[in-house]
């Protein structure tokens, strides 16, 4: 709760404690209780808290922050049959499946391994850098996992109430599936750019950008789903080369800023610096949180 509050509304209590420090304390508490795998979905309170934590732990790591190392991806891997089935249910808090959170954790871990070699001391990307075969093999496996996960037949969240309005119900389903899809494509962008060092102009990266933009069009302006899409929006925005597309993305982010969450404005500011300078966001990120 304190990590969330610090991200959305910094210094509410006028105490200089960063969201990274709050998150680090939450991580220690989760580990001391046996880690996420020890919490079953039937324990509704525990499962809700572990899901909440998973979102901040993995998205915080993907945000390139200097927070403590997140939990290893193995913490998010399901082992029993029931949990495996639950992994492909789109969670209304996450906006994507818990199976996807495990894959994104692996993307974050691999990106952190590559970053010291990929960026120079000034935070600029070494264009000539190429990953080792070990990194390439790991990235290829993650890419296949993301593709298989994206194409899986999903179950919608149990918490979504049945609506008497068929059109409204259809929109809700469309939005939740689009959100889940967008996070998968964003994971691929990070994999291509931060682990394989493909150029922004590559067909692989630009395909992901187009897919995320397409998913955004399926989400109503001002909806709760829109507020959950900062990570894929930022990931796609950083790779946009067309000024017209950039303006549309800037407009979309400004709309979401109206919800009053300060991390949206910080992410938009960083995105605009990327467009102005042409530098990688990883070398300019401070305490931004893309979620």
pTM of the model: 0.86
| DSSP codes, 111-155 | HHHHHHHHB-TTS-B-TT----HHHHHHHHHHHHHHHHHHHS-PB
Q: Is 290 a domain residue?
A: no
Q: Is 215 a domain residue?
A: yes
Q: Quick one: angle between helices 133-151 and 98-118, nearest 10?
A: 160
Q: Give how many domains the chain has, as a whole number.
A: 1
**Containing structural domain, residue 112:** 2-161+169-283
Q: Is 288 a domain residue?
A: no
Q: Is 101 a domain residue?
A: yes
Give the whole-angstrom CA distance, residue 23 versus residue 4.
Answer: 9
Helix (H) or strand (E) holding 36: none
Give the whole-angstrom CA distance, residue 138 versus residue 4.
Answer: 32
Q: Is 199 a domain residue?
A: yes
Q: Is 289 a domain residue?
A: no
pLDDT tens digits for the chain (291 residues)? Answer: 898 888 888 888 877 888 888 988 888 888 888 776 677 777 888 878 888 888 888 888 888 755 556 666 655 555 444 555 566 777 777 778 878 888 998 999 999 999 999 999 888 899 899 999 999 999 999 999 999 988 876 665 665 555 555 444 555 778 888 899 999 999 999 999 999 999 999 999 999 999 999 999 888 877 767 778 899 999 999 999 889 999 988 988 888 887 778 888 899 999 999 999 999 998 888 888 887
Residue 111's closest CA among 149, 54, 73, 152? 73
Q: Is 291 a domain residue?
A: no
| DSSP codes, 215-232 | HHTTS-TT-HHHHT-HHH
Q: How far is CA 221 from CA 216, 238, 247, in A?
A: 9, 21, 16
Give the whole-angstrom CA distance, residue 124 versus residue 281.
Answer: 9
Q: Is 218 a domain residue?
A: yes
């Amino acid at each position: 709760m304190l990590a969330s509050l610090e991200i959305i509304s910094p210094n509410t209590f006028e105490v200089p404690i960063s969201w990274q420090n709050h998150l680090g304390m939450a991580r220690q508490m989760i580990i001391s209780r046996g880690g996420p795998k020890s919490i079953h979905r039937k324990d509704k309170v525990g499962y809700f808290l572990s899901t909440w934590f998973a979102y901040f732990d993995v998205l915080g790591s993907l945000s390139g922050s200097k927070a403590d190392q997140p939990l290893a991806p193995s913490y998010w891997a399901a082992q029993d049959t029931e949990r495996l089935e639950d992994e492909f249910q789109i969670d209304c808090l996450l906006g994507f499946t818990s199976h996807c959170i495990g894959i994104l954790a692996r993307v974050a871990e691999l990106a952190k391994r590559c970053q010291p070699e990929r960026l120079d001391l000034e935070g600029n990307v070494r264009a000539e850098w190429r990953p080792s075969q070990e990194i390439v093999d790991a990235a290829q496996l993650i890419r296949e996992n993301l593709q298989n996960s994206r194409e899986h037949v999903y179950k919608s969240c149990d918490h979504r109430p049945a609506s008497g309005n068929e059109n409204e119900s259809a929109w809700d389903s469309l939005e939740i599936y689009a959100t889940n899809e967008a996070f998968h494509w964003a994971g691929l962008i990070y994999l291509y750019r931060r682990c394989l060092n493909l150029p922004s102009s590559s067909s692989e990266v630009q395909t992901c950008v187009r897919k995320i933009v397409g998913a955004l069009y399926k989400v109503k302006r001002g909806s709760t789903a829109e507020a959950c899409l900062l990570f894929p929006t930022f990931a796609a925005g950083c790779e946009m080369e067309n000024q017209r597309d950039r303006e549309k993305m800037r407009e979309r982010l400004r709309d979401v800023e109206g919800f009053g969450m300060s991390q949206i404005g910080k992410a938009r500011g960083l995105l605009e610096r990327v467009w102005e300078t042409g530098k990688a966001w990883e070398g300019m990120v401070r305490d931004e949180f893309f979620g």
